[in-house]
Amino acid sequence: RAGARGAAMEPECRVLSIQSHVVRGYVGNKAATFPLQVLGFEVDTVNSVQFSNHTGYAHWKGQVLNSDELHELYEGLKLNKVNRYDYVLTGYTRDTSFLAMVVDIVQELKQQNPNLVYVCDPVMGDKWNGEGSMYVPKDLLPVYRDKVVPVADIITPNQFEAELLTGRKIYTEKDALEVMDMLHAMGPETVVITSSDLQAPLGNDYLIALGSHRKTKADGTRITQRIRVESPKVDAVFVGTGDLFAAMLLAWTHKHPNNLKVACEKTVSAMQHVLQRTIKSAKVQAGEGNKPNSAQLELRMVQSKKDIENPEIIVKATVL
């Protein structure tokens, strides 16, 4: 029994997650909360928007939280002295003043708890057929670059976002490693480029992600661990995968603080399990020869509970 009691006494780990909320489906907080809870975290959510569903559907309705309302919610936590967190997690934001308020909150929370880890997915845009374009207002870039990234500890940009933040294009793996070094220099200890259009050694059916963890030891020496992860491409457009990825990376880096390789293997393997289950289920729902729609392609999150909790490692990382 002692072992069971020991496990129960694990110190509480609390995450403040500031992301969008949808009534139906899985993006933002809906994609992040369940996996974090399954992995043993307390999750306090601020819903930056409340929409009926994600905006990839034909229709959506809902409300947007502004920076004053965000501040008011935070004030309520502060008045009750429950504004102590171990992690802050943020994703898609469209508004510069909202993003600036997030930075203020993170800085204040770091004063409360100097060990707080801020995990930021700097969602700004992506590449389609090799061409990058932003799907947030352009004035968010300087806020991310100059204010957000410097206070972040873990960032999960895709290749296009990493290029935007550093002003440098990535054509080779060497470029990517140098871009990650530039991002480290801006503040974050851990950088994961979640997807890239680099040629995977395993072939065209694979997608490359790259990770870099830089730690400064007490004597001032720096250790950098770098990894490459190649995962099988899944032929469908899913929404919420970046939110799920960032949440699981938070959890697995917490459980394996000095082993980015294992943290990424568990994160990417769990993603694969979720995506494979989702596409299989979507194809069944759509019927033979029909293309699955947005509703059918919603992530099969609840059905993947066991894979999220204890992912079988099906994707291995290479140490560079």
Indicate the pTM of the whole model.
0.95
Q: What is the DSSP letter of 187?
A: S
* From 95, 121, 153, 243, the catalytic residue: 243
Backbone angles phi, psi at 214, to 5 degrees: -115, 125
Q: What is the pLDDT of residues 286-305, one digit of tens each?
A: 999 999 999 999 999 999 99
- Residues 91-119 have pLDDT tens digits of 999 999 999 999 999 999 999 999 999 99
Active site residue 175: no
Q: What is the pLDDT of residue 148?
A: 98
SS3 206: strand
Amino acid at 243: D
Q: Which portions of the chain are predicted below pLDDT 50?
A: 1-2
Per-residue model confidence (pLDDT) at position 218: 86
Q: Is the dihedral of CA 182, 262, 313, 243 positive or negative?
A: negative
Q: Where are the alpha helices (DSSP H) in 24-157?
A: 28-38, 67-79, 96-112, 140-143, 149-151
pLDDT confidence of residue 216: 85
Please report the pLDDT score of residue 11 as a whole number: 83
Domains in the chain, please, with CATH? 13-285+297-319 (3.40.1190.20)
pLDDT of residue 8: 57
